[in-house]
Amino acid sequence: MMGMGDVNVDMISTNPMRQESLIAAHNLLRELEANDSLPDDMKKVLADLDSKLSAIELNLERSTSASDEMLKEKEYNDAIEKLKSLQEKIMVWESNRDMIWESGPEVASEYIEAVGEVVCLAELFRKLGVDGDDNIAKVEDVLQVAMARLEEELVHILAHRRQSYVSNEVEDDEEEGGGHATRGQQIDNDFDLIDPEAIPFLKSIKETMFKAKYDQEFCSAYVKTQKEALEDCLIGLGMETISIDELVKMDWNIMASKIKTWNQVLRTAVQVYFLAEKRLCNEIVGKSDELPASVCLTNITKSSMTCLFNFGHAMALGPHTPEKLFYLLDMYEVLAEVKEQISALFSDEGGLYVKTEFEQVMERLGDSARATFLGFGDVILSDPTADPFPGGGVHPLSSYVMNYIIVYLPDYCKTLNTLLQEKGDDNDHNSITTNPLTPEKSLLASHLRSITANLKSNLEKKSQLYKDTALQHVFLMNNTHYMQQKVINSELRKIFGDEWIRTQIVNYTQHATSYVRSTWSSVVASLRDDGIPSGSGSGVKTILKEKIRVFSAAFEDVYRNQTGWFIRDEQLKEELRISISQKVILAYQSFIGRHSKYDIEKYIKYDSDDLENLLRDFFEGSQKSLNYRKR
């Protein structure tokens, strides 16, 4: 039996399983040595034993180090052999220009696996190798070749497996000058930008390149390819790269056509392609620290959005001519339609540029539309008053203004009212409610009534061009009635309100009454009994004969003039004829009846039935003359 000092050092040092026990014993001896209560001889034994254990521990460390070196060398040699095998698998594709992915999923998977192993070998060689080691350079070369090939595969798939979007677009039958050319378009929000079968391989490429620290190369190739493909798609839809200066100087008819195209392109870009790009970015790139998917999306879409924004800025510039209004509102409404999607697509800090530019374009288009609408009343007032409109009919200015606000405006009432409220002054808000349940009290209603007031003011000026007072009244009656009828038969009736409608009815009725008075009062005056002496002498018949002659001549004169006047509305025309009949023909019948005892039948050129028939020719816009002979 061995004593405490007879430890078999060789046995301990050659048994790796006892390394932990050796360390524990070494620590225990040092604790015992530190105990002052032990006798000196015991301390000496412990010190001797501690010395032997230290020697064993040193030998053990040397043995372990030698063993590690052997393992390291074996691992290094195995890695070299593995590299040779992997190099053959990778380099064989350098002479084969077929695309790996198109060779089948198994071939693609094997290649990705091989590249992944090269990435691991690269890390191992960096860990095991020394400076100047040729194998480190060799594995880096193989890795570089593999990364270049994966980048090529990435670009090829993105370019050749991209799917085309086909919209189910149905354009409304729109009248010239009106908007909403893009309403009716059905958007497919689930459109896949890339063939779904290619997605797993694309994800494998991304993961492998990111693991190899080639993330910048991957993202650069991905963004560049997608950016160019997106631009090609939008150009195919009609997007054009035109400077703001060129757009501002462009002929309006050409610009109007381009606006309709712009609306379609913007809606499709945001609701189809941008959404699809974001889904693809999230699926392929993900939320990597190197380059988040949101930054990729911004970089892909930025140039296309800038091109579209420039067009919007150009449209917001320039004179606020009336024909621009509905095109501006169309553009504004398209932007409003996609606003929430833009906010969701570019919600991160990387998309701040796109969101800011989007908001600026929308604001400027809104400001321009509002200014154009508010300036419309001034345009009406300034319409030149040169020559009287033939026949006193509905003036082209009336048709233009009423069609402008009645035919085209209803679709934009909500948008216009919103724009007016956004920049309405304090006085507007204090005096006008914007309660949707009382549309006649909205800001829009106030401005529409102001526009029609300006129209009537201009028409008053135009009426003064007629020398005939009666024709002035016919002109104003025609145009006021036309305005009232356009409103009463439109969607804007509630906005104008019943009070406005009643006011117009009173107004054109007054003009009708004034016309009858100014035209026929002198004619009817010739039928008065003034100047007819009492009795039955020849003098009475002579006076009656003259009165009938004067009446007939006056009627013929009015007939000759007013058959050339024009009233387009049949009901209004008939009502005015009835008023004439009640005033003139009844007076004529009464005159003939009162003096029938004087045998004046032979003096009568037209009886009441003749006059009634002749009234049918009035206001038809075709001037006629009467050459009736005495009966």
pLDDT tens for 108-159 read 999 999 999 888 888 887 776 655 567 778 888 889 999 999 999 999 999 9
Helices H / strands E in the chain, number of each: 24, 0
Same domain, 594 and 621: yes
Question: How far, in Å, CA of 255 to CA of 362, rounded?
Answer: 18
Structure tokens at 117: 């192993």
Listed residues 65, 97, 129: the one ending a domain? 97
Higher per-residue pLDDT: 3 or 477? 477
Structural domains counted in the chain: 3
Question: CB-side exposure of 194: number of CA atoms within 13 Å?
Answer: 25
Mention every residue, 6+ apart, whose C-beta is less than 8 A from residue 626.
556, 559, 560, 614
Percent of the chain with pLDDT over 70: 79
Please say whether the beta carbons of 272 and 187 come within 8 A.
yes
Strand partners, 566: 620
- Phi-psi label, residue 561: left if phi above 0, alpha if psi -120 to 50, beta otherwise: alpha
Same domain, 393 and 487: yes
Same domain, 502 and 415: yes
Same domain, 492 and 548: no
Question: How far, in Å, CA of 221 to CA of 215, rounded?
Answer: 10
**Rounded average pLDDT over 278-285:** 91
Whether 577 maps to a domain, the answer reads yes
| Domain residue limits at 494 | 383-512
Give residue for tokens 């980048």: 151
Same domain, 492 and 600: no
Same domain, 488 and 424: yes
Could you give phi then psi for residue 186, rounded to 5 degrees? -100, 120
**Rounded average pLDDT over 567-593:** 94
Question: CB-side exposure of 341: number of CA atoms within 13 Å?
Answer: 18
DSSP codes joined into one string, 34-57? T-TTS-HHHHHHHHHHHHHHHHHH
| SS3 assignment, position 500 | helix
Same domain, 411 and 491: yes
Whether 518 maps to a domain, the answer reads no
Higher per-residue pLDDT: 148 or 26? 148
564 alpha-carbon distance from chain centroid: 51
Mean pLDDT of the chain: 84
Please write the tens of the pLDDT for every residue from 235-273: 999 998 888 888 888 888 888 899 999 999 999 999 999
Same domain, 494 and 549: no
Categorize the per-residue pLDDT at 174 as very low, low, confident or very high, splitting at 50, 70 and 90: very low
Q: How far apart are the first and last CA of the chain?
A: 172
Please say whether the beta carbons of 307 and 239 come within 8 A.
yes
Please write the tens of the pLDDT for every residue from 206-241: 999 999 999 999 999 999 999 999 999 999 999 988
Please say whether the beta carbons of 150 and 212 come within 8 A.
no
Whether 175 maps to a domain, the answer reads no
| SS3 assignment, position 229 | helix
pLDDT score, position 177: 45
Using CB atoms within 10 Å of the CB of residue 176, give its burial: 0 to 12 exposed, 13 to 18 middle, 19+ buried: exposed
Higher per-residue pLDDT: 352 or 262? 262
Whether 184 maps to a domain, the answer reads no
Strand partners, 162: 194
Same domain, 554 and 579: yes
Structure tokens at 535: 């009795």
Same domain, 607 and 498: no
Using CB atoms within 10 Å of the CB of residue 481, give its burial: 0 to 12 exposed, 13 to 18 middle, 19+ buried: buried
Same domain, 564 and 610: yes
Could you give phi then psi for residue 607, rounded to 5 degrees? -85, 180
What dihedral do alpha carbons 464, 470, 474, 475 form, nearest 10°? -10
Categorize the per-residue pLDDT at 519 as very low, low, confident or very high, splitting at 50, 70 and 90: very high
Whether 550 maps to a domain, the answer reads yes
pLDDT score, position 541: 85
Listed residues 97, 122, 138: the one ending a domain? 97
